[in-house]
């Protein structure tokens, strides 16, 4: 039995859709809207593998069903095209980042188009295009005007080899995670965005979102709100005061030391001559650690630290306590200083054990030989707090501190301001001119400040951004005619993705970033699908900008993405030898004993399922799959492999299975015995309506795999039937078309229809059709189960 010709059919329909502009976003505003968005890709040099389109296929199914249900659908695609990897690829290939980006985008677009995704390509955008980043710069200026963008001398991780600062998250053991290049601490003047002003707002907004709980929890943790108190300690024999932040003011009576971050500003004036050398030495050692390492190390048993020689006075009982420095206290959190309460804090406990500090329990319940007691309990050895539980004692302690003017209630966040400048070339120029009197924003009408084409765009060794090489570009005049120099740092990779979903609303507008009437109609994004790796950075940054834009009255919703869904990852077979070297599938084979070995020298390899990636040599190219099995089979398999949110193993056999289902469908429609006479077949109709129900429900649950299974059942049942009503198959093609649009369009046409399948009303689920024909009744005699009988579901009582 000849299989259907997927190449011809898919090409034909893709050409048809393009010519007919079938997926253009409708201009009418009379129908309800649905905005379904993918996290747009970074167009890397590797192109797509079959793990990437899983989410794209899912959103495409949703977009297509919603259109058929009568919604105006906005379903766009674009490119997050600024960033470091492109610059590195350009260096390797001796091309400009512009050229590399153009080429990579073409590859990606071609790969996506081959899948028959129903994007409105008229709205395609790239964040590295001047008519896009012009508005990224414009939003930056809005932030600047609001006081939310500022410059500060910041302690940063400087990577000489990469010629740029790196974020905390990018540094481990003093090295850049990606390349292993050493990183050194440096104080540098940097642009910062005041995301901390929005900590409360970003927390509050989470409650209203239909997002995976895990992602919301990660954002809450990242923002890290802590309620507690600040407490002022006097320094003995000095007029200085040191403020500490604590979440446990109730344990002040158990304080046995004060511990400062080694970077603490008051340290220099406290430290005694005797301790000065030790303190300086410790400080220098700490400077080599990233904040992340310090946070990780805080849980370690082995604590380090140095006594400063100075003493502080605990305000609650006037006791003298030694002042230490230790790396588990972070300079950027709270006030960079703590009071140490070893009996009730694990880190303090280990610290006290190491350095022989007193451990005085002030909350009953623990045993100081075993560790810190962090639970609730009656307060003891605590003066006026004795007898109270933790919550009561906290409130009482804060009251006392406030009355005695040595402390107050305080809320602290773990969230830091966002370091927003990079000393790299391939990013948005920051639209600021530095003059003798300070930074001056570029007037809006002068935007965009375009990125000049440079012959030499590699980072400089001394940290001067590459843009500083273009003297003609750097010298500028403000609108008041004052001479100055342009800011030469660029924005980080994350900037462009902070607002692209707004630009998709009017990507071609030249005098505004978006039109507010249109924004009202389309926002918020109804469904946003992408990888879970964006749980914090992108999704937090974008929410931050959106909250600011909302405060500026420029967007109508507080939150940009009401529903978020994370698709799982795709795992492929990897082959690795004992030395850890990876091999391609076609350079290994199974020997006679059934073990996997390399083809050339028979070296044993182990096979494993690992996350698909080029570096593991286990990627499968979607174009190859489209060539052999067709885009429709690939699309089905992407969703059939498992639940959308689960990680799944790629099995090319599975694509073949989906392909066989499509072949059966093709035969059913082209060779089945169809009629338009009224006929009945309860079994076929039941299978059909179960499938309709499955597809409709999958819109909310996104459980496409079960919907596909029901469609497969229908085809099996229908294949067994002697005669079929044409309308059953037409209904079936309607529900199949979001998943396998090419073959569905083709078969619909072959059934003699000229108008497109998408114009046909979506089949309506009929509950009566899915009632089982028989129901099982229990037969009880005198209360005991004696057996069951099967009766027709419509049978009468008798």
Which lies closer to ligand ANZ via its Cβ, residue 48 or residue 343? Answer: 343
Site string for ligand ANZ, 679-718 (x = CB under 6 A): ----------------------------------------
CA torsion 638-641-647-649 (nearest 10°) is -100
Distance of closest approach, residue 265 Cβ to ligand ANZ, in angstroms: 13
Question: Rounded to whole angstroms, what are the CA distances from 537 to 84, 291, 541, 722, 730?
Answer: 16, 17, 6, 58, 46
Which lies closer to ligand ANZ via its Cβ, residue 221 or residue 750? Answer: 221
DSSP character string of 536-578: THHHHHHHHHHHHHHHTTSSS-S-SBSBEEEPPPEEEEEEEET
Tell me which residue of 553, 743, 609 sits closest to 664, measured CA to CA: 743
Distance of closest approach, residue 415 Cβ to ligand ANZ, in angstroms: 12
Beta bridge partners of 110: none
Alpha carbon distance 111, 14 (integer Å): 13
Query: What b/e string do you get for 264-293 counting C-beta neighbours within 10 Å, with b at 16 or more?
Result: bebbeebbeeebeeebeebbeebeebbbeb
Token code pair at residue 772: 């089982």
Which lies closer to ligand ANZ via its Cβ, residue 298 or residue 454? Answer: 298
Find where tokens 């290049």 sit.
181
Question: Rounded to whole angstroms, what are the CA distances from 360 to 4, 235, 255, 257, 382?
Answer: 81, 22, 8, 11, 10
Alpha carbon distance 140, 152 (integer Å): 16
Find where tokens 């690795």 sit.
576
Query: Is residue 653 a contact partner of residue 628, using CB atoms and an 8 Å limit?
Result: no
Distance of closest approach, residue 219 Cβ to ligand ANZ, in angstroms: 16
Distance of closest approach, residue 328 Cβ to ligand ANZ, in angstroms: 6
Which lies closer to ligand ANZ via its Cβ, residue 330 or residue 751? Answer: 330
Distance of closest approach, residue 392 Cβ to ligand ANZ, in angstroms: 16
Listed ranges 3-11, 88-96, 162-170, 242-250: which one lies at the site for ligand ANZ (CB under 6 A): 242-250
Which lies closer to ligand ANZ via its Cβ, residue 257 or residue 687? Answer: 257
Q: Binding of ligand ANZ at residue 248 (CB under 6 A)?
A: yes
Listed ranges 148-156, 174-182, 326-334, 385-393: which one lies at the site for ligand ANZ (CB under 6 A): 326-334
Distance of closest approach, residue 189 Cβ to ligand ANZ, in angstroms: 24
If one counts every other C-beta atom within 10 angstroms of the C-beta of residue 201, the result is 15
Cα atoms in the 13 Å half-sphere on the side-chain side of 436: 3
Token code pair at residue 3: 């299989």
Site string for ligand ANZ, 261-300 (x = CB under 6 A): x---------------------------------------
With contacts defined by CB under 6 A, how many residues of the chain interact with ligand ANZ? 19
Q: Binding of ligand ANZ at residue 245 (CB under 6 A)?
A: yes
Distance of closest approach, residue 138 Cβ to ligand ANZ, in angstroms: 37
Which lies closer to ligand ANZ via its Cβ, residue 220 or residue 682? Answer: 220
Distance of closest approach, residue 231 Cβ to ligand ANZ, in angstroms: 9
Q: Binding of ligand ANZ at residue 241 (CB under 6 A)?
A: no
Which residues inside 383-412 make contact with ligand ANZ, applying CB under 6 A? 412
Which lies closer to ligand ANZ via its Cβ, residue 315 or residue 427? Answer: 315
Which residues inside 473-492 make contact with ligand ANZ, applying CB under 6 A? none
Which lies closer to ligand ANZ via its Cβ, residue 182 or residue 297? Answer: 297
Q: Binding of ligand ANZ at residue 251 (CB under 6 A)?
A: yes
Q: Binding of ligand ANZ at residue 246 (CB under 6 A)?
A: yes
Separation of first and last alpha carbons in the chain = 51
Query: Is residue 365 a contact partner of residue 351, using CB atoms and an 8 Å limit?
Result: no
Query: Is residue 120 a contact partner of residue 17, using CB atoms and an 8 Å limit?
Result: no
Q: According to the 3-state scheme, what is the secondary structure of 693-762?
A: HHHHHHHHHCCHHHHHHHHHHHHHHHHHCCCEEHHHHHHHHHHHCCCCHHHHHHHHHHCCCCCCHHHCCC
Q: Binding of ligand ANZ at residue 132 (CB under 6 A)?
A: no
Distance of closest approach, residue 351 Cβ to ligand ANZ, in angstroms: 11
Which lies closer to ligand ANZ via its Cβ, residue 253 or residue 629? Answer: 253
Contacts 24+ apart (CB under 8 A), 291-294: 291/168, 291/330, 291/332, 292/168, 292/169, 292/171, 292/172, 293/172, 293/173, 294/327, 294/328, 294/330
Tell me which residue of 724, 710, 722, 714 sits closest to 665, measured CA to CA: 714
DSSP character string of 664-702: HHHHHHHHS-EE-S----HHHHHHHHHHHHHHHHHHHH-
Which lies closer to ligand ANZ via its Cβ, residue 329 or residue 525? Answer: 329
Distance of closest approach, residue 298 Cβ to ligand ANZ, in angstroms: 7
Distance of closest approach, residue 198 Cβ to ligand ANZ, in angstroms: 19
Token code pair at residue 238: 């000095």
Distance of closest approach, residue 251 Cβ to ligand ANZ, in angstroms: 4
Q: Binding of ligand ANZ at residue 168 (CB under 6 A)?
A: no
Query: Is residue 617 a contact partner of residue 582, using CB atoms and an 8 Å limit?
Result: yes
Distance of closest approach, residue 693 Cβ to ligand ANZ, in angstroms: 48
Site string for ligand ANZ, 410-429 (x = CB under 6 A): --x-----------------
Strands across the sheet with 438-441, in order? 438-441, 432-435, 483-486, 475-477
Which lies closer to ligand ANZ via its Cβ, residue 114 or residue 294? Answer: 294
Which lies closer to ligand ANZ via its Cβ, residue 180 or residue 358? Answer: 358
Beta bridge partners of 614: none
Site string for ligand ANZ, 329-368 (x = CB under 6 A): xx--xx-x-xx-x--xx-----------------------
Distance of closest approach, residue 296 Cβ to ligand ANZ, in angstroms: 13
Distance of closest approach, residue 222 Cβ to ligand ANZ, in angstroms: 12
Distance of closest approach, residue 341 Cβ to ligand ANZ, in angstroms: 4
Listed ranges 244-252, 433-441, 468-476, 776-784: which one lies at the site for ligand ANZ (CB under 6 A): 244-252
Site string for ligand ANZ, 189-228 (x = CB under 6 A): -------------------------------------x--
Alpha carbon distance 723, 705 (integer Å): 28
> What are the backbone angles phi and psi of residue 617, rounded to the nearest 5°?
55, 30
Which lies closer to ligand ANZ via its Cβ, residue 57 or residue 199? Answer: 199
Listed ranges 113-121, 186-194, 305-313, 323-331: which one lies at the site for ligand ANZ (CB under 6 A): 323-331
Distance of closest approach, residue 403 Cβ to ligand ANZ, in angstroms: 20
Q: According to the 3-state scheme, what is the secondary structure of 270-317?
A: HCCHHHHHHHHHHHHHHHCCCHHHHHHHCCCCCCCCEEEEEEEEECCC
Select the residue interacting with ligand ANZ from 22, 98, 241, 247 (CB under 6 A). Answer: 247
Alpha carbon distance 249, 402 (integer Å): 12
Q: Binding of ligand ANZ at residue 119 (CB under 6 A)?
A: no
Which lies closer to ligand ANZ via its Cβ, residue 339 or residue 571? Answer: 339
Tell me which residue of 788, 732, 741 sits closest to 763, measured CA to CA: 732
Which lies closer to ligand ANZ via its Cβ, residue 41 or residue 334? Answer: 334
Distance of closest approach, residue 37 Cβ to ligand ANZ, in angstroms: 35
Listed ranges 177-185, 325-333, 619-627, 670-678: which one lies at the site for ligand ANZ (CB under 6 A): 325-333
DSSP state of 66: H
Interface residue list for ligand ANZ (CB under 6 A): 226, 245-248, 251, 261, 328-330, 333-334, 336, 338-339, 341, 344-345, 412
């Amino acid at each position: 039995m000849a299989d259907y010709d997927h190449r011809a059919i898919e090409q034909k329909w893709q050409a048809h859709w393009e010519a007919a502009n079938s997926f253009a976003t409708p201009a009418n505003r009379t129908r309800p809207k649905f905005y379904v968005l993918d996290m747009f890709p970074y167009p890397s040099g590797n192109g797509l593998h079959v793990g990437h389109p899983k989410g794209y296929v899912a959103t495409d199914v949703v977009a297509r069903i919603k259109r058929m249900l009568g919604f105006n659908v906005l379903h766009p695609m674009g490119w997050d095209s600024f960033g470091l990897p492109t610059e590195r690829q350009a260096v390797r290939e001796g091309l400009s980042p512009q050229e590399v980006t153009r080429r990579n985008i073409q590859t990606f677009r071609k790969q996506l188009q081959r899948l028959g995704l129903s994007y409105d390509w008229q709205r395609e955008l790239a964040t590295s295009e001047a008519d896009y980043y012009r508005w990224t710069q414009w939003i930056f200026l809005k932030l600047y005007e609001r006081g939310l963008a500022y410059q500060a001398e910041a302690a940063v991780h400087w990577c000489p080899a990469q010629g740029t600062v790196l974020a905390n998250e990018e540094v481990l053991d003093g090295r850049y995670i990606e390349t292993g290049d050493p990183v050194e601490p440096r104080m540098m003047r940097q642009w910062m965005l005041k995301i901390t002003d929005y900590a409360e707002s970003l927390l509050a907004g989470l409650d209203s979102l239909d997002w995976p709980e895990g992602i919301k929890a990660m954002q809450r943790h990242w923002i890290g709100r802590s309620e507690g108190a600040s407490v002022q300690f006097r320094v003995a024999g000095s007029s200085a005061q040191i403020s500490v932040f604590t979440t446990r003011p109730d344990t002040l009576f158990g304080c046995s030391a004060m511990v400062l971050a080694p970077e603490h500003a008051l340290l220099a004036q406290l430290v005694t001559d005797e301790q000065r050398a030790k303190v300086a030495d410790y400080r220098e050692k700490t400077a080599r650690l990233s904040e992340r390492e310090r946070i990780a190390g805080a849980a370690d048993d082995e604590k380090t630290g140095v006594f400063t020689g100075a003493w502080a006075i605990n305000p609650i009982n006037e006791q003298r306590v030694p002042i230490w420095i230790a790396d588990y206290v972070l300079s950027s959190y709270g006030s960079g200083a703590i009071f140490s309460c070893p009996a009730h804090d694990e880190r303090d406990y280990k610290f006290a054990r190491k350095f022989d500090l007193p451990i005085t329990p002030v909350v009953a319940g623990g045993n100081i030989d075993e560790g810190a007691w962090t639970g609730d309990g009656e307060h003891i050895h605590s003066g006026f707090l004795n007898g109270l539980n933790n919550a009561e004692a906290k409130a009482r302690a804060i009251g006392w501190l406030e009355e005695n003017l040595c402390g107050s209630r305080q809320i602290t966040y773990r969230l830091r301001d966002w370091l927003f400048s990079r000393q790299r070339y391939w990013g948005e120029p920051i639209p600021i001119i530095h003059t003798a009197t300070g930074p001056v924003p570029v007037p809006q009408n002068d935007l965009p400040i375009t990125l000049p084409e440079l012959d030499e765009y590699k980072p400089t060794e001394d940290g001067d951004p590459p843009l500083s090489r273009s003297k003609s570009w750097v010298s500028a005049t403000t609108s008041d005619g004052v001479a100055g120099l342009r800011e030469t740092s660029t924005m980080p990779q994350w900037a462009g993705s902070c607002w692209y979903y707004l630009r998709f609303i009017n990507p071609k507008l030249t005098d505004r970033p978006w039109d507010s009437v249109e924004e009202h109609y389309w926002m918020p994004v109804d469904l946003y699908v992408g990888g879970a790796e964006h749980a914090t950075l992108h999704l937090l940054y974008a929410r931050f900008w959106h909250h600011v834009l909302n405060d500026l009255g420029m967007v109508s919703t507080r939150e940009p993405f009401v529903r978020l869904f994370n698709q799982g990852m795709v795992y492929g077979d990897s082959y690795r030898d004992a030395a850890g070297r990876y091999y391609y599938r076609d350079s290994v084979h199974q020997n006679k004993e059934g073990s996997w070995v390399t083809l050339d020298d028979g070296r044993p390899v182990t096979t494993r399922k690992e996350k698909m990636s080029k570096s593991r040599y286990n990627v499968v190219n979607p174009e190859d799959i489209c060539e052999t099995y067709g885009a429709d089979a690939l699309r089905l398999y992407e969703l059939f492999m498992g639940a959308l949110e689960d990680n799944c193993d790629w099995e090319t056999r599975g694509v073949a299975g989906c392909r066989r289902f499509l072949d059966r469908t093709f035969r059913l429609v082209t060779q089945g015995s169809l009629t338009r006479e009224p006929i009945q077949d309860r079994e076929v109709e039941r299978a059909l309506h179960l499938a309709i129900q499955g597809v409709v429900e999958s819109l909310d649950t996104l459980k496409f795999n079960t919907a596909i299974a029901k469609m497969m059942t229908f085809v099996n049942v229908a294949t067994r039937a002697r005669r079929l009503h044409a309308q059953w198959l037409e209904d079936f093609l309607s529900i199949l078309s979001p998943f396998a649009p090419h073959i569905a369009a083709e078969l619909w046409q072959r059934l003699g229809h000229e108008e497109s399948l998408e114009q046909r009303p979506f089949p309506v689920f009929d509950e009566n059709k899915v009632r089982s024909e028989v129901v099982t009744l229990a037969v009880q005699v005198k209360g005991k189960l004696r057996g069951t009988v099967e009766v027709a579901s419509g049978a009468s009582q008798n």
